[in-house]
Amino acid sequence: LLNLPRKDVVSFECKMSPEEMQLHRKLVEESQAEFSDIMNGEMSHLHQYAHLLLLLLRIRQSCSDRRLIIPANTCVLCPKHEPTVIQPGDKYELLGCDRHVVCMQCKFPSDRHCYICHDAAVSSTRTDALMEQIQEMRRKDPTNAALVFSQWTSYLTLVETQLKKLNIPFLRLDGTGSSRKRQAIVNQFQDERGPPVLLCSYAMGLGVTLTRANQTVVMSTRGDERFDNVTMLDIRLSRAFRF
C-alpha cells in the first residue's frame, strides 16, 4: 500500500581465490563420497535427509567464507594441515569468540583473541566485495545507508571484523536480546545521524520498519531467494545487491 520507489536488483558473481576454490572443491568431493556412503548405509531416511542438508550447508558456507566451516572443536593455533581435534575428555581453553578452542599444547593468548573469527587480515572474496560496495556507497553520498542480510549470524560476526578494520560504524539486528533492545537498535539506525550500516539476520523479528535504508546487500549463495519473501519488512530501497 506504500508508494515505494522502484527497486533495482544488481547481481554480482564473485570469483573465488585459488585457495578458496581448492578448499571448496575438496569439500564437494568429500561430500559426494559421504553422500554415497549415506545412501548405501543403514541410516534411516530422516537421518539421511538431515545429514545431507548438513553437507549442503557446509558447501554453501564455504562459498561465503571458509572460516565458517572450521569445526568449533578444532584448535585454531595448531599447524594448518594437522589441526588438533578436541576429543571428549581432552583439556582445552575456549577463546573469546565462544566457538573456537585452543588445545593444551598451544599457548593460550592472554586476551582470548580468536585468530579465526576476529582476524581482519583473513577475509573472503565475497566479504571483500561487500566492503568495496559499502565504501563506494559512502563515497557517492555520505547520507546513504545500507542493510546487509545473511542467514548465518556467524557470518555477520566475520563482517563485523572487516567493518571495524575500515572504521565503518555499524549496528546489528539478529533477533537476540529483548524486544526493547531491538527497537532501540532500529531507532538508532533510523536516525539520520546513526551508523550507515545495519547487519541483519532473517530472524531479526517481526514488525521491523527500516525506511532510512536506500540500499541493501543480500549475502546469499545462488538459489537462496528468501529475501524476496521477507514481507515483515518495510524497506524503502532504491538498489538491492546480491552476492
Tell me: the pLDDT tens digits for 159-182?
988 898 899 999 999 878 788 888
3-state secondary structure of 147: strand
pLDDT on residue 227: 42
Write the burial class of residue 178 (CB in 10 Å: 0-12 exposed, 13-18 middle, 19+ buried). Answer: exposed
Give the other-Cβ count within 10 Å of 134's Cβ: 23
Question: What is the distance of C-alpha 64 from the center of its chain?
Answer: 7
Give the other-Cβ count within 10 Å of 44's Cβ: 9
pLDDT on residue 224: 45
pLDDT on residue 190: 92
Length of the chain counted residue by residue:
243
199 vs 30, which has greater pLDDT? 199
Give the other-Cβ count within 10 Å of 225's Cβ: 10
pTM, whole model, 2 decimals?
A: 0.72
Confidence at 11, pLDDT banded by 50, 70, 90:
confident
* Interval 16-37 mean pLDDT: 81
pLDDT on residue 208: 77
